């Protein structure tokens, strides 16, 4: 397949592109603006491979998107480009509105224009996969799980912008017949994860002997999925999913944040003993404003209808992830030194004082 992947220099996008290029022999054009979160080094294993191309461009730039479609002539779009960090969306929502909403709109319009030029068979086979998040469904209480029919209830600027983009993708199918599909996935983790997110931040702070910030009391729950399993699910959705449908993807691996942090400390202690157990570096800090309590996904539909199964358990995936960070400081050292050193993000000043 010839696939245009937006956001392919990011965490999930690069895992997807490595899978497509190295394991599926797909022809791929990555379209990525290379924001602070994008890094071409995450694609170094694909560079020079036949069928791999890279275009540094903003998805909000209609002319460049039109040209990318016209020149590459994709059979599918896998749209991952987004501003993705909740804490940054609290600190400043503008880029989230711009990229996640306006950018998705621009890409859908470019795809629609291109789709209209295809012959009947190519038109029917074309797919536009919009990659989204479980955060659009809001916050769960102690029981239950999100599924494809859960009403939308986004609560952060990030999740609200993703919810808007999901609605646009769906509307472009209903109104214009563009064959769009939407996936909503739970928290990913694994190699090449930008060290602003919980798991890589904790691994690297723990290694540096720094404090390990746990928001609130650490009781918030996330449903963790190894990133390569997500990549395989996205390919299954493009290959076997039905346009107009939504697919919820998850890890069936709910963990309290404190538990995740403790597991990382213990695994690091086993591999690289320090003077004191790393659990002593844990600090409970002011909670995230509007912090969603619990996410969990019922992924029965992707399992039944797409034949997808996750291959990595949380235990095997977190061990692989830690080993990857230990072996690949060439990747994360420059990011910690030049782009983000681990400082707290997303506190609203008045709330920070009160808390």
Active site residue 71: no
Of the residues 85, 130, 232, 278, which one makes contact with ligand DAU according to CB under 6 A: 85
Using rule CB under 6 A, residue 213 touches ligand DAU: yes
Written as six digits, the tokens of 285 are: 């800090």
Of the residues 21, 27, 29, 32, which one makes contact with ligand NAD according to CB under 6 A: 32
Using rule CB under 6 A, residue 198 touches ligand DAU: yes
Task: Point out which span in 122-130, 194-202, 229-237, 323-331 binds ligand DAU (CB under 6 A).
Answer: 194-202
Q: Under 8 Å CB-to-CB from 304, ≥6 apart: which residues?
A: none
Of all helices (H) and strands (E), which one includes residue 335?
helix 329-338
Question: Which of the residues 27, 32, 158, 215 is marked catalytic?
Answer: 158
Of the residues 257, 281, 310, 321, which one makes contact with ligand DAU according to CB under 6 A: 257
Cα torsion 104, 110, 115, 116 to 10°: value is 130
Q: How many CB atoms lie within 10 A of CB 245?
A: 17
Phi/psi of residue 158, each to 5°? -60, -55
Burial of 301 (0-12, 13-18, 19+ CB in 10 A): middle
- Compute the residue count for the chain: 355
Of the residues 32, 134, 166, 254, which one makes contact with ligand DAU according to CB under 6 A: 134
**Are 235 and 266 in contact, with CB atoms under 8 Å apart?**
no
For ligand DAU, the closer CB: 18 or 288: 288
Of the residues 43, 54, 65, 99, which one makes contact with ligand NAD according to CB under 6 A: 99
Question: Number of residues in contact with ligand DAU, rule: CB under 6 A?
Answer: 19
Of the residues 133, 205, 262, 281, which one makes contact with ligand NAD according to CB under 6 A: 133
- Name the minimum Å distance from CB 279 to ligand NAD: 25
Using rule CB under 6 A, residue 181 touches ligand NAD: no
For ligand NAD, the closer CB: 185 or 202: 185
- Name the minimum Å distance from CB 259 to ligand DAU: 11
- Nearest residue to 222 (alpha-carbon basis) of 121, 293, 310: 293
- Name the minimum Å distance from CB 135 to ligand DAU: 5
Active site residue 36: no
Task: Point out which span in 38-46, 106-114, 167-175, 197-205 binds ligand DAU (CB under 6 A).
Answer: 197-205
For ligand NAD, the closer CB: 18 or 162: 162
DSSP string, 152-164: P---SHHHHHHHH
Question: Which of the residues 83, 135, 166, 292 is marked catalytic?
Answer: 135
Q: How many CB atoms lie within 10 A of CB 322?
A: 22
For ligand DAU, the closer CB: 89 or 106: 89
Of all helices (H) and strands (E), which one includes residue 283?
strand 282-285
Q: How many CB atoms lie within 10 A of CB 97?
A: 16
- End-to-end CA gap in the chain: 52
Using rule CB under 6 A, residue 162 touches ligand NAD: yes
Using rule CB under 6 A, residue 185 touches ligand NAD: yes
DSSP string, 36-69: TT--GGGGTTTTT-TTEEEEE--TT-HHHHHHHH
Judged by the rule CB under 6 A, the positions of this chain that interact with ligand NAD are 6-7, 9-13, 32-35, 37-38, 58-60, 80-84, 99, 103, 131-133, 162, 185, 187-188, 194
Which residues belong to the active site?
A: 134-135, 158
């Amino acid at each position: 397949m010839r696939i245009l992947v937006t956001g392919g220099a990011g965490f999930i996008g690069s895992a997807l592109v490595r899978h497509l290029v190295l394991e599926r022999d797909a022809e791929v054009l990555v379209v990525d603006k290379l924001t602070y979160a994008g890094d071409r080094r995450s694609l170094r294993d694909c560079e020079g491979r036949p069928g791999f191309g890279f275009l540094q461009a903003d998805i909000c730039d209609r002319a460049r998107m039109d040209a990318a479609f016209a020149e590459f002539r994709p059979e599918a779009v896998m749209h991952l480009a987004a501003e993705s960090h909740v804490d940054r969306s609290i600190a400043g929502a503008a880029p989230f509105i711009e990229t996640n909403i306006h950018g998705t709109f621009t890409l859908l319009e470019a795809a629609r224009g291109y789709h209209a030029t295809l012959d009947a068979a190519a038109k029917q086979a074309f797919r536009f996969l919009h990659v989204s998040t479980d955060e659009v469904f809001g916050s769960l209480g102690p029981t239950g799980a999100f599924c494809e029919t859960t009403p939308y209830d986004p609560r952060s600027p990030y999740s609200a912008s993703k919810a808007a983009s999901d609605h646009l993708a769906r509307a472009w199918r209903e109104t214009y017949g563009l064959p769009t599909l939407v996936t909503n996935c739970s928290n990913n983790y694994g190699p090449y994860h930008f060290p602003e997110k919980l798991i890589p931040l904790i691994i690297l702070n723990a290694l540096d002997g720094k404090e390990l910030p746990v928001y609130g009391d650490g009781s918030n729950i996330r449903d963790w999925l190894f990133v390569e399993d997500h990549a395989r699910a996205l390919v299954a959705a493009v290959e076997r999913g039905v346009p107009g449908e939504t697919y919820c993807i998850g890890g069936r691996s709910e963990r309290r944040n404190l538990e995740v942090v403790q597991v990382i400390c213990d695994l690091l202690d086993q591999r690289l003993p320090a003077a004191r157990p790393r659990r002593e570096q844990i600090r409970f800090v002011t909670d995230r404003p509007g912090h969603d309590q619990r996410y969990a996904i019922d992924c029965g539909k992707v399992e039944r209808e797409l034949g997808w199964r996750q291959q990595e358990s949380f235990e095997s995936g977190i061990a692989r992830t830690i080993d990857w960070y230990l072996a690949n400081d060439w990747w994360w050292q420059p990011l910690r030194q030049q782009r983000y050193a681990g400082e707290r993000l997303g506190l609203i000043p008045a709330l920070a004082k009160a808390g």
